[in-house]
Amino acid sequence: MKEILREYDTYRQEQQEALKQREMEVMSALPELARLRHSLVTYLAQKARTLILNPDINPADEQEENLAKDISKKEKALLMENGYPKDYLTLHYRCPACRDTGYVGELVKEKCKCLIQKLVERTYSFSELSNLDKENFNTFDPDVFPDTPLPESNMTQKEYMQQMKAVLWEYQESYPHNPRKNLLFTGKTGLGKTFLLNCLAKAILDKGCTVLKVTSYNLFEHLFQSVISSSGEDSLMKESIFEVDTLIIDDLGTETRRNNFTAEELFNILNERYLNQKHTFLSTNLSLTDLREYYSDRVTSRLFDTQNTIILRFMGQDIRLRGKRT
């Protein structure tokens, strides 16, 4: 976010600099325009002096308004007569809605659409979301799942996954007002967990909210490197881990295990995000028992807190193997 706002600042400064250059160029090329501007400046200086000496005078001044309008009209005409575009001496905004500040609104400042869009683009390129055009709710294909009954339920794997899709579709419809902010996908390999995480990520990004999706391995490598390099400045990734509306940690359990480091960092992330009412989605091949064994009680009590977490069990056959057979 800071990086993007710095770019906005730089762009505004560049535009102001460019305008100054254009003004200098036109002033020397068109002395008549310089005289026009000078007459306004002289008028304003005189008015300021009068106001200082007579503070009771009403500063609203119809004459000034008319003069400014008149000069602006003459300026435009002069520019066009001499082959310049008529907006040559005005600031050019990339986004007229926020005038390139990133925020709109008088009293309550809100992020402008252009800023949200930039945030989304940045998170797309930086987080692991390159697959979203292929893996989303529109491309969800129930036929990749076999029609065989699941021993643990009265549905086939295909029916079960259609139900799962429906539940998550409803979840994204209510987003971000869901009472439970965390989702935990558990299940063996090749059952469609990552695919459905991508569906959610795309739906949430399309609402203009921010998403960071990382594999657990990359997340903890990054955190570990930032501890040992102690560069002092937090990386964009570290900031995003706490700030994004939704953090998705895929494949929890595949990270390198480093004594208490992983459990402590994971607790920190889950806890901070819980306190700030932010969404965290996780997927794992580990069973609930494995999770208890791998991480500290503090982590599992957060993860299994059914007040705030929906645990979704993925079951059935590995569809990657199925694909190979057919």
Query: What is the tally of helices (H) and strands (E) in the chain?
Result: 12, 7
Cβ neighbours of 78 (radius 10 Å): 17
List 141, 151, 231, 324, residue binding ligand ATP (CB under 6 A):
141
The residues in 146-205 that bind ligand ATP, with binding defined as CB under 6 A, are: 189-195
- CA 222 – CA 231 distance, rounded (Å): 13
- CA 202 – CA 57 distance, rounded (Å): 60
How many residues lie near ligand ATP (CB under 6 A)? 15
Cβ neighbours of 64 (radius 10 Å): 14
Residue 1 or 286 having the CB closest to ligand ATP: 286
Residue 33 or 198 having the CB closest to ligand ATP: 198
Report whether 150 contacts 162 (CB < 8 A).
Answer: no
Residue 123 or 194 having the CB closest to Mg ion: 194
Q: Give me the DSSP letters along 5-18.
A: HHHHHHHHHHHHHH
Residue 34 or 144 having the CB closest to ligand ATP: 144
Max CA distance (Å), the chain: 93
> What would the x/- binding string for ligand ATP be over residues 100 to 139, using CB under 6 A?
-----------------------------------x----
Report whether 135 contacts 199 (CB < 8 A).
Answer: yes
- CA 306 – CA 182 distance, rounded (Å): 9
Report whether 32 contacts 75 (CB < 8 A).
Answer: no
Binding-site partner at residue 140 among Mg ion, ligand ATP, none, CB < 5 to 8 Å by type: ligand ATP
Binding-site partner at residue 190 among ligand ATP, Mg ion, none, CB < 5 to 8 Å by type: ligand ATP
Residue 239 sits at the vertex; the CA angle it makes with 237 and 243, to the nearest 5 degrees, is: 115
Binding-site partner at residue 144 among ligand ATP, Mg ion, none, CB < 5 to 8 Å by type: ligand ATP
- CA 162 – CA 160 distance, rounded (Å): 5
List 223, 241, 252, 319, residue binding ligand ATP (CB under 6 A):
319
Which span (115-123, 166-174, 187-195, 305-313) binds Mg ion, by CB under 5 A? 187-195
Binding status of residue 219 toward ligand ATP by CB under 6 A = no
Binding status of residue 194 toward Mg ion by CB under 5 A = yes
Closest residue to bound Mg ion by CB: 194
- CA 28 – CA 312 distance, rounded (Å): 72
- CA 207 – CA 193 distance, rounded (Å): 22
Minimum gap (Å) between residue 144 Cβ and ligand ATP: 4
Residue 216 or 309 having the CB closest to Mg ion: 216
Minimum gap (Å) between residue 284 Cβ and ligand ATP: 8
| Contact residues: Mg ion, CB under 5 A | 194
Residue ranges binding ligand ATP (CB under 6 A):
135, 140-141, 144, 189-195, 251, 285, 319-320
